[in-house]
Amino acid sequence: MKILAVNAGSSSMKFQLFEMPEEKVLVSSTFERIGLDKSFYSIKVNDEKTKKEAVLLNHEDAVRLFLKDLLDNKIINDLNEISCVGHRIVHGADKYNKSVLIDDEVISDIEKCIPLAPLHNPAGILGIRAIKEALPKAQNVAIFDTAFHQSMEDVAYLYPVPYEWYTNYGVRRYGFHGTSHQYISNRISSILGTDKFKAIICHLGNGASITAVENGKCVETSMGITPVAGIPMGTRCGDIDPSIVEYVMRTSGKTIDEVMTDLNKKSGLLGVSGVSSDSRDIEEAIASGNTRAFLAHNIYIRKITSFIASYYCILGGADVIAFTAGIGENSIDTRKDIMNALKPLGVVIDEEANKVRSVERLISDKDSKIKCYIIPTNEELMMAREAYELSK
């Protein structure tokens, strides 16, 4: 059975076609700058990647070109071979704690969550509609980023604000990167050979979140009602004193939209360093003696360490700390500095084992009280698995 995983962004669209249940990737493709000048896409077949320029006025153009390439490359002979499509949806509020087949009610619910995810949910809907038009016979499944975190108890997801904010406006912690955290949780269970474990998963990329997991269920997570909360990220500030927003507005004359843009797109590693949102650029700047880049890195490490230590106490210990996503999988220095900061918890790094990028590996020493792993994430595979199970 051929299952297509679709991740639609506001100006991008990613596809992976799987043969299931073998979990074989048949093709992957990424379309960028949709609706903008100089749009292009890349397609990877049999480990050969080709980049092509293309006019991409909208998401329908991306879907049309992708499906055309599937036929032209004889990956499929007929579009009806694609029996099910899994769509990444960023926000499902607290209604959805698992993936679901998409119908009109689900689309309506996704639309209702647009104020909570104004950039992502509209793109998800565009992706759904484009696929439904191009593949009318295929089933469509919504895979919610927020679903994995719905196992949190009220003590974890409620904010200490007027309770009516929750009942009237839905103000609560939702959490994100759920598909990644679920995939890593499943891998930890396989590695340990048990579904009884306590783990702290560090999804460290340009967007970043940390989740405490017990026996495969989310107990706590760092992101909040939106993905700007938690630890500092590439361009997002993470947790700050909310009074800062009012203070900056009054002092600078900036509007709420301008301040929120600053907190979402001009803060984090970029804001402190003044160099870049990319950790690779930060590390290069540190090597050349840039003190602000060094400060940005140290703030990043301290905040991550603080969340891990907090979750260690909430869980009552931890069997595993897992590093995943772009920085977690590839930044040797970031992992080393986090693990060294966790020495009071009994974490001991294996310096040689840590000197790898994007491979699954144990990187803690045999004397470490907590096993630390690099585990590359695979959100698209998790999406394909979810879609496959529902399609059956």
Domains in the chain with CATH codes: 2-144 (3.30.420.40), 193-379 (3.30.420.40)
The predicted pLDDT at position 136 comes to: 92
82-to-78, 85, 240, 249, 382 alpha-carbon distances in Å: 8, 8, 45, 51, 17
> In this structure, are residues 221 and 175 in contact, taking their beta carbons and an 8 Å threshold?
yes
Q: Which pair of tokens denotes residue 4?
A: 């297509």
Given this model, what pLDDT does residue 57 score? 87
The H or E element spanning position 262 is helix 256-265
Burial of 245 (0-12, 13-18, 19+ CB in 10 A): middle
| Alpha carbon distances (Å) from 156 to 145, 173, 211 | 18, 8, 12
Digit-coded pLDDT (tens) for 207-216: 899 999 999 9
Cis omega before residue 122 (within 30°)?
A: no
pLDDT value of position 53: 86
pLDDT value, residue 99: 93
C-alpha Rg value of the chain to the nearest Å: 21
CB atoms within 10 A of CB 53: 9
Does the pTM of the predicted model rise above 0.85?
A: yes
Per-residue confidence (pLDDT) for residue 87, from 0 to 100: 94
Q: What is the pLDDT of residue 388?
A: 94
- The backbone region for 82, taken as left when phi is positive above 0, alpha when psi lies in -120 to 50, beta otherwise, is beta
| 195 given a catalytic annotation | no
Place of tokens 């879609």: 387
**Do 308 and 210 touch, CB atoms closer than 8 A?**
yes
Which member of 103, 145, 195, 350 is catalytic?
145
- Looking at 266-324, list the stretches that DSSP marks H as alpha helix, in order from N- to C-terminal side: 268-273, 279-287, 291-315
Strand, helix or coil for residue 283: helix
pLDDT at 115: 87
The predicted pLDDT at position 327 comes to: 94
Tell me, what's the pLDDT at 334? 97
The first and second tokens of residue 155, run together, are 């003590």
Mark the ranges of the chain whose per-residue pLDDT is less than 50: none
